[in-house]
Amino acid sequence: MKTADWLILAATLTFIVVYGTWRTRRQRDMNSFVLAGRSLPWWMVALSVMATQASAITFLSVPGQAFADGLRFVQFYFGLPLAMVVLCITVVPIYHRLKVLTAYEYLERRFDAKTRALAAGLFLVQRGLATGLTIYAPAVVLSVLLDWPVSVTTAGVGLLVVVYTATGGSKAVSVTQLQQMLVILAGMGLALVAILRLLPAGVSFSEAVAVAGVSGKLNAVDFSFDLSNRYNFWSGLIGGFFLALSYFGTDQSQVGRHLSGRSVTESRLGLLFNGLAKVPMQFLILFVGVMVFVVFLFVAPPVHFNPVETRRLASGPLSAEYARGEADHRAAVDERREAVGRFLAARRSNEPSAVQVAREEIRAAGGRYDAVRERVAALVRKSNPLSDGRDTNYVFLRFVLEHLPTGLVGLILAAVFSAAMSSASAELTALASTTVVDGYKRFVCPDGSDAHYVAMSRWATVLWGLVAVAFAQFASRLGTLVEAVNVLGSLFYGTILGIFLVAFYAKRVAGTAVFAAAVASEAAVLLLFAFTRISFLWFNVVGCLLVVALSMALQAWKGEAAGRSVEPAA
Amino acid sequence: MKAKPSLRPEDAGDRPPFGRSWGVLYVGVLLNLALLVVLFSLFSKAFR
């Protein structure tokens, strides 16, 4: 990376950290630490919600996902706008009226302390591990840039995020999210322009799109119903709806964001804007990945995008097999490029039969190219048992570093790091506030001062930072980060959502029934994950419906009408 | 008698600052989703 890129990267990140810390230097009470004093206008709520979800994983892993798997991941987001509407109607007014600091406080008012502790505990486990993945993504970037082991850079990024979060809290996250989102959107927009400029002379944008389509990368919508298919319209709309409902309605990292709105109206508008903008934004990021794929049809890509692993292979005992893999890869790349050339020539001369033949040639050449890459991935697994051999998290990073112009590289890396800071710090704030409000304050020290709880929140931030860094050491075995983080969430979100749905709508169900139902449902989801091939998005549906059905059945069996109503007068 | 929690002025009328009602905004978000699904679907089919 050139000096100018380092300067742009350092200047952008320094500005964000210093500005955020300066703006929030007088923060003293829990309300302002956790919920930014409930003072934000709707557009800041929207930016905050979007920036929290758009972690560095989004900008590193999603283009890589599209490079490997096309646009179909966009279906994952189809349930999100629907969830935003449902949350605006139901959850947002309830949380505002009850003036809760965390979502789990509500559960104790409605049920009992053990149900609150269970939901908070499930959240802490899930979010604590997921924060490890959030921290791992920028650590991958630093590892490649500095040629340091990823374990070291993970610790470095973790330290930076902990200091930033513990000194500024939620407001520091919020006040810089406008700047962060601007950097992120500018970085991705400029990246797309630069990528299109890398297409060979004579290849137009529409031809690039046509080549992507023939290569099977424009598979944005698939209406077939298949439980084992990870991404189709139905899993995205139904499973994605349950996942988004749980993520935005019960996950404190998001509840803390939209509760920071200064009124119900501001929180609602913020969520609705997210419902409008999220799907097109993800489509754009995926489309960037597809265009990277197209550029690599004309410019020879590396056989494996993780440079640390290829160096290890080239200098290790598997070097001869790796060299054969590289040679086969060069041949496959040439064959694919020639097939694409014939396809474009046939398309320009408007010969349908020749177009059809060239189309089949591209698909056949693509299959052989993928087979060579899979062979090299197997070599990576053999040479490094800690790696799963996949390189999708490195595709976009490698492309940016090797093919984009000076200046833009620094800006895009600044976008990656600012996304990492905003999401990781929001997650750590949520973990700390849940630990203190739902654990420490409730069960250990109920009569402390606000200053004491803020101090404990800072220590909890440090503690969760350590947990996240420890889990991040295993992230290289988990494949595509954007899938790993959503699989992890889906193991817990259904159960948590089910508890909240019972709390809101099954007024006759009491704490013991919902607690038992939640424990049984969580066990069932974990068993389904371990022993079936059902796509992870459906776990959100199964977990939620199981909690609702089991808790109602248990309550009916116990025969008591015992639910506590906490709905305030409006 | 229990005092009702006070609502901020923005919430009092339960009306959004733009659009005639919350229902209109909700329908707008859902129509936007439907439009995107149709556009993506046509896009996928056009370049298959």
CB A104 within 8 A of CB A119: yes
- On whether ipTM exceeds 0.95, the answer is no
Nearest to A305 by CA among A316, A318, A289: A289
Q: Residue holding tokens 């309300």?
A: A31
Using CA coordinates, name the residue in chain A closest to B25.
Answer: A272
The per-residue pLDDT for B9 is 41
Over the stretch A25-73, which tens digit does the pLDDT of each residue have?
655 555 555 555 567 788 888 888 887 777 778 888 889 999 988 999 9
Compute the distance between CA of residue A138 and CA of residue A491 in angstroms, rounded to an integer: 25
**At CA A397, angle to CA A343 and CA A154, rounded to 5?**
155
Q: Which residues of chain A have pLDDT under 50?
A: 568-570
Categorize the per-residue pLDDT at B1 as very low, low, confident or very high, splitting at 50, 70 and 90.
Answer: very low
Tell me which residue in A214, A263, A269 faces B8 most closely, judged by beta carbons: A263
CB A85 within 8 A of CB B29: yes
Q: CB distance A81–B29 less than 8 Å? A: yes
Compute the distance between CA of residue A93 and CA of residue A17 in angstroms, rounded to an integer: 33
Q: How far is B48 from chain A (nearest CA, A)?
A: 5
Domain A3-296+402-558 fold is: Sodium/glucose cotransporter (1.20.1730)
Nearest to A241 by CA among A81, A88, A93: A81
Q: How far is A218 from chain B (nearest CA, A)?
A: 5
Using CA coordinates, name the residue in chain A closest to B38.
Answer: A221
Tell me which residue in B11, B36, B48 faces A263 most closely, judged by beta carbons: B11
Which residues of chain A have a Cβ shorter than 8 Å from any chain B Cβ? 71, 74, 78, 81-82, 84-85, 88-89, 96-97, 99, 209-210, 212-214, 218-221, 223, 233, 262-266, 268-269, 272, 275-276, 279-280, 283, 568-570
Contacts of A155 (CB under 8 A, 6+ apart): A469
Nearest to A341 by CA among A158, A349, B45, A164: A349
Tell me which residue in A82, A221, A268 faces B33 most closely, judged by beta carbons: A82
Tell me which residue in B17, B33, B44 faces A220 most closely, judged by beta carbons: B44
Nearest to A167 by CA among A19, A13, A10, A15: A19
The per-residue pLDDT for B12 is 44
Compute the distance between CA of residue A9 and CA of residue A490 in angstroms, rounded to an integer: 34
Tell me which residue in A81, A220, A275 faces B40 most closely, judged by beta carbons: A220
Q: CB distance B5–A99 less than 8 Å? A: yes
With an 8 Å Cβ cutoff, is B25 touching chain A?
Answer: yes
Q: C-alpha distances in angstroms, A61 versus A133, A141, A160, A291?
A: 11, 11, 22, 15
3-state DSSP call for residue A28? Answer: coil
End-to-end CA distance of chain A: 58
**At CA A356, angle to CA A354 and CA A359, rounded to 5?**
110
The per-residue pLDDT for A98 is 78
The answer on pLDDT for B10 being more than 50 is no
Partnered with residue A261 across adjacent β-strands are A40
Partnered with residue A40 across adjacent β-strands are A261
The structural domains of chain A, with segments of one domain joined by +, span 3-296+402-558, 308-389
Q: CB distance A81–B32 less than 8 Å? A: yes
Compute the distance between CA of residue A438 and CA of residue A252 in angstroms, rounded to an integer: 11
